[in-house]
Structure 1
Amino acid sequence: MNKKAVCIISGGMDSALSAKMAQKEGYEIIALHFNYGQRTQTKELECFRKIAKDIGAKKSYEVDLGFFEQIGASALTDMSIDIPTGGVEEGVPVTYVPFRNGIFLSIAAAVAEKHAAEALFIGVVEEDSSGYPDCRESYIEQMQKAINMGTKEETDLEIKMPLVALKKSEIVQRSLDLGVPLKDTWSCYQDEVKACGVCDSCRLRLRGFEKAGVKDPIAYQ
């Protein structure tokens, strides 16, 4: 029987690489995407579908989580809060969505249990991330313990974070090495046609490509 992995895929570069690594490790892929009212929801979904096809996902889930808009408190889901474009903020950025990864991992665990998957891949990056508390390795490790305590005895899920210690330039390079379709990934927080180039996520991405010495294949304003 094939070993199975649930891959959380946002449509961004990090999760695309994480899923490609799962494929290279020989896992049968169950692709999982969340629509949570984020500004670039349509574009991210389009990218997810292309990535899932590229990695030959055996099953895909597109889960709608409308309650994130009700909760608000993030510039990604509350249109009255501006996306910062001035560079690094102090503390946790306003683009942080409250407990997003915790909620994503909980749903992913349910999907993994259904399919008897043994691994769950998430593309969190600690060192080069935007200061989100739910991207820390120590937090994900605790979630793994909690998930295995709260599921059936035969469920023994490992949450894999293959990018957690990488820099963005290393992610770009590894993506190129493994043939990740970077043209089909999206990082911009606020625009869906052409990336803005000035939000935190665009800055991180552009800096990564620059340090890797290659040109980003997506269009910028």
Structure 2
Amino acid sequence: MNNKTTKKAICILSGGMDSTLASYIAKKDGYEIIAVHFNYGQRTQNRELKAFRDICDDLGILEKYEIDIPFFTQIGASALTDKSIDVPTNGLEAGVPITYVPFRNGIFLSITAAIAEKEKATAMYIGVVQEDSSGYPDCTEEFINDISKAINQGTREETSIEIKTPLVHLSKAQIVEEALKLNVPLIHTWSCYKEEDEACGVCDSCRLRLNGFNLANQIDPITYKVNL
């Protein structure tokens, strides 16, 4: 194989709609994909892991990392990792919501950078969405640019890693439209913060996803307990 066919990208793949689309874009961009998934004690950890494995099968990804990060449950401070804190179901909160996991994307990107350096990958894809997200501070373009500089300063001189955020300025409706254009198997993705058997339909993530489908005039292929 020549160099043009062996450029590698590490895709942070949660199993959600955004990270899945970002991974499909990486494939379209001609990268050999190495997928990374994090089990960090989130409420829907088992369901997200199933989604990750299904999507890796869909994409034909042969090399993948499933990384356990147990300390998030020790820290708590987030409804996703502390079961004594209820996941909000009354609509999006103002400011940074209680579902924010402290510096999660910063930690994910740091670990992924170590994998990228080992694998001699030149790109890392992450499905952050700035303008239509839940207000998380680690999903902004400014944050990604700054941590990209730190990663390249803190790795070998010959290491050069570009963090690619193809969805950062898209709305959820545009994400749905792009996913359909690329034939992304959205039925295999999981977005719900609360449930693992059937999506709740009322948490922030379900609301954002459902609203995106509604604005795109499309039907979400997964089922919900409540469809607002």
TM-score bucket (shorter structure): over 0.9
1:90 is paired with a residue whose SS is coil
Aligned partner of 1:15: which letter?
A: S
Deviations 1:151-180 (A, max 9, x none): 001100000000000000000010000011
Corresponding position: 1:111 with 2:115: yes
User: Which of the numbers 122, 125, 130 marks the counterpart of 2:126?
Assistant: 122
Partner Cα distance (2:77, 2:47) in 1: 22
Identity of counterpart residues, as a percentage? 65
User: Which of the numbers 10, 13, 24 marks the counterpart of 1:9?
Assistant: 13
Partner Cα distance (2:30, 2:118) in 1: 20
Partner Cα distance (1:90, 1:211) in 2: 22
Corresponding position: 1:208 with 2:212: yes
User: Which of the numbers 21, 24, 33 marks the counterpart of 2:25?
Assistant: 21
Partner Cα distance (1:18, 1:220) in 2: 24
Deviation at 1:54, TM superposition (A): 1.4
Partner Cα distance (2:94, 2:215) in 1: 24
Q: How does 1:66-105 map to 2 (within 5 A)?
A: 66-105=70-109
Deviation at 1:8, TM superposition (A): 0.1
Aligned partner of 1:25: which letter?
A: D
Deviation at 1:219, TM superposition (A): 1.1
Partner Cα distance (2:39, 2:19) in 1: 15
Partner Cα distance (1:56, 1:88) in 2: 36
4+ runs deviating over 4 angstroms: none
> Contact between 1:29 and 1:56, CA under 8 Å: does it hold in 2?
no
Corresponding position: 1:186 with 2:190: yes
Partner Cα distance (1:131, 1:140) in 2: 15
TM-score by length of 2: 0.96
Aligned partner of 2:28: which letter?
A: K
1:10 is paired with a residue whose SS is coil
1:32 is paired with a residue whose SS is strand
Corresponding position: 1:43 with 2:47: yes
Aligned partner of 1:83: which letter?
A: V
Deviations 1:34-90 (A, max 9, x none): 000000000000000011121222310000000000000000000000000011212
1:203 is paired with a residue whose SS is helix
How many equivalent pairs are there? Answer: 221
> Contact between 1:28 and 1:58, CA under 8 Å: does it hold in 2?
no
Unaligned stretches of 5+ residues in structure 1: none
1:155 corresponds in structure 2 to: 159
Corresponding position: 1:195 with 2:195: no
> Contact between 1:113 and 1:155, CA under 8 Å: does it hold in 2?
yes
Corresponding position: 1:58 with 2:62: yes
Deviation at 1:182, TM superposition (A): 0.1
Query: RMSD of the TM alignment (CA)?
Result: 0.6
Residues 52-61 or 173-182, more deviating? 52-61
Aligned partner of 1:35: which letter?
A: N
